[in-house]
Amino acid sequence: MTESMRMWVEVVFDVAYLLVVWAIVVAMLRRRATLARDVRSYALLFIWAFGLLALGDTGHVGFRVWAYALGGLAATVSVAGVSLPLVGLGALSTAITVTFFYVLMLFIWQRRFKKPLGWFGYLLLAAAAVRLIVMAFPQNEWNNVVPPSTWGLYRNIPLVIQGLGVAYLILRDATAAQDRVFRWVGYMILVSYAFYAPVILFVRTVPMLGMLMIPKTLAYVAIAWLAYANLFSRFSRTVSETTLGTA
């Protein structure tokens, strides 16, 4: 695949993804008043989770599209006389919002299955705090298109702990409750990390691995659709009674 073709695939996918994820968030918001009482406490958290994810990704992939339009990923914009890198700002925005996304997913698990956080839940919250602290260090070089390998790894280790930890909790309790929908939520989290891991580890030496972010992103879209179709849609009451289990 040529560099030009790769750019156009990325641009088309980025625009389509933003349209879809924002459409799902808006659809959730419009139907929040129709939520069944037994799912409301955690269904509303899905709106916050995917609203944050969409906001961060608007910065991330949206700024990448903007940078391409300005001539390349190294493009900058001037704000109050300060030159700011579009790709770096976008990467920082999504790094922050995805951290809180998994915090909200942890609370969604807790409310869905009526479980205490316990030591493991607090460990996952601590991982989120550590990640935010690590991201504040200047060594992250947010002004670069490709982040430094060492600090890129440092800030992603807590995120991996968060994501895989939440996936474990969801899959453990969804399996016990015979909850098909949340089992798929857990599976999709694992799928997203399966595609993300090679990017974290090897994208600096094999840039084409960056294309794995497409299926990783589709896994998040699948989680959003699962939440909407089974909690917010006009058929959600029937679906929830037959697929959400009895936990």
Q: Tens digits of per-residue pLDDT, 27-42?
A: 999 988 888 888 888 9
Of residues 187 and 67, the one with the higher pLDDT is 187
Of residues 15 and 10, the one with the higher pLDDT is 15
242 has pLDDT over 90: no
| 238's tokens | 């029937």
247 has pLDDT over 50: no
Q: What whole-number percentage of the chain has pLDDT above 90?
A: 55
116 has pLDDT over 90: yes
Q: Residue 235: its pLDDT value, please? A: 55
Of 1-10, 43-52, 117-126, minimum mean pLDDT range: 1-10
Q: Tens digits of per-residue pLDDT, 59-115?
A: 888 888 888 887 777 777 777 666 777 878 888 999 999 999 999 999 999 999 999
Mean pLDDT of the chain: 87
Q: Residue 202: its pLDDT value, please? A: 84
**Lookup result for tokens 């997913």:** 105
Q: What whole-number percentage of the chain has pLDDT above 70?
A: 91
Of residues 187 and 205, the one with the higher pLDDT is 187
Burial pattern 202-224, b for ≥16 Cβ within 10 A else e, equals ebeeeeebebbbeebbbbbbbbb
C-alpha 83/C-alpha 70 separation (Å) is 14
Q: Residue 80: its pLDDT value, please? A: 65
Q: E strands, 59-206, where? A: 76-79, 82-85
Instruction: Give the bridge partners for 76, in sequence order.
Output: 85
Strand, coil or helix: what is 82?
strand
Task: Name the pLDDT band for 243 (thresholds 50, 70, 90).
Answer: very low
Q: Residue 219: its pLDDT value, please? A: 96
Q: Residue 34: its pLDDT value, please? A: 83
User: Is the model's pTM score more than 0.85?
Assistant: yes
CATH C-level class of 3-243: mainly alpha
Q: Tens digits of per-residue pLDDT, 126-143?
A: 999 999 999 999 898 888
178 has pLDDT over 70: yes
Instruction: Give the bridge partners for 84, in sequence order.
Output: 77
